[in-house]
């Protein structure tokens, strides 16, 4: 328990030190590919968000989902790639190949669907090659280009605000 807390502290410090290198978004580029990072600890309706993106005209094959779980049991079967704190090293890198692949994809939009700062989630967001990052206002302000002030349980409010501002920014 103590080592886990210490590991979280070190990885959060690494993320915060690297946040000064965040590049601004390229204006005017429309959204064609979307990556979504979920914290399954508090939110289970991943399919509702994926369906909403599909209804806005984004193809299913252009939506990638990565799910964070605090604990992964050996016999569990998942619909989406899953990672946990155990996949994160002390140097803020990942051992898991599906997390590395997710980070390297140049998404047009990355939705960070978590409202509590956890080091593994923050590292994935920070290392992602996404052009435009959207998340909750309760998370570090430097991680995302655009923040929505609501709770993770209110996915309808989050999605309506997201789509409203993406249309204003001419991204949808």
- Residue 24 located in a structural domain: no
Number of domains in the chain: 1
- Residue 51 located in a structural domain: yes
- Residue 104 located in a structural domain: yes
Number of H helices, E strands in the chain: 5, 6
Does 22 have pLDDT greater than 60? no
- Residue 71 located in a structural domain: yes
Q: Collapsing DSSP states into helix, strand and coil, what is residue 68? A: strand
Describe the strand order of the beta sheet including 109-113 as a list of residue ranges.
82-83, 63-68, 34-39, 109-113, 133-136, 146-148
CATH of the domain at 52: 3.40.50
What's the pTM value of the predicted model, to 2 decimals? 0.83
Tokens of 47: 């399919």
- Residue 40 located in a structural domain: yes
- Residue 25 located in a structural domain: no
pLDDT in tens, 123-147: 899 889 999 999 999 888 888 888 9
Q: Is the CB of residue 83 less than 8 Å from the CB of residue 96?
A: yes
C-alpha separations of 1 from 7, 42, 142 in Å: 10, 21, 28
Segments forming the whole domain that contains residue 69: 2-19+31-168
- Residue 26 located in a structural domain: no
Q: What is the mean pLDDT of the chain?
A: 83
Q: How far apart are CA 117 and CA 120, in angstroms?
A: 9
- Other C-beta atoms lying within 10 Å of the C-beta of residue 159: 20
- Residue 109 located in a structural domain: yes
């Amino acid at each position: 328990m103590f080592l886990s807390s210490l590991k979280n502290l070190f990885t959060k410090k690494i993320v915060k030190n690297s946040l000064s290198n965040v590049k601004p978004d390229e204006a005017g580029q429309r959204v064609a590919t979307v990556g979504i990072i979920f914290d399954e600890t508090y939110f289970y309706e991943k399919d509702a968000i994926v369906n909403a993106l599909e209804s806005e005209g984004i193809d299913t094959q252009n939506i990638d989902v990565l799910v964070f779980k605090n604990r992964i049991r050996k016999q569990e079967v998942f619909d989406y790639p899953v990672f946990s704190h155990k996949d994160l090293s002390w140097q803020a890198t990942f051992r898991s190949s599906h997390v590395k692949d997710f980070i390297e994809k140049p998404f047009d939009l990355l939705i960070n669907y978590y409202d509590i700062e956890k080091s593994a989630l923050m590292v994935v967001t920070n290392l992602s090659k996404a052009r435009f990052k959207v998340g909750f206002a309760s998370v570090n302000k430097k991680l995302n280009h655009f923040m929505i002030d609501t709770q993770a349980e209110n996915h309808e409010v989050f999605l309506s605000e997201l789509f409203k501002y993406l249309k204003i920014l001419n991204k949808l």
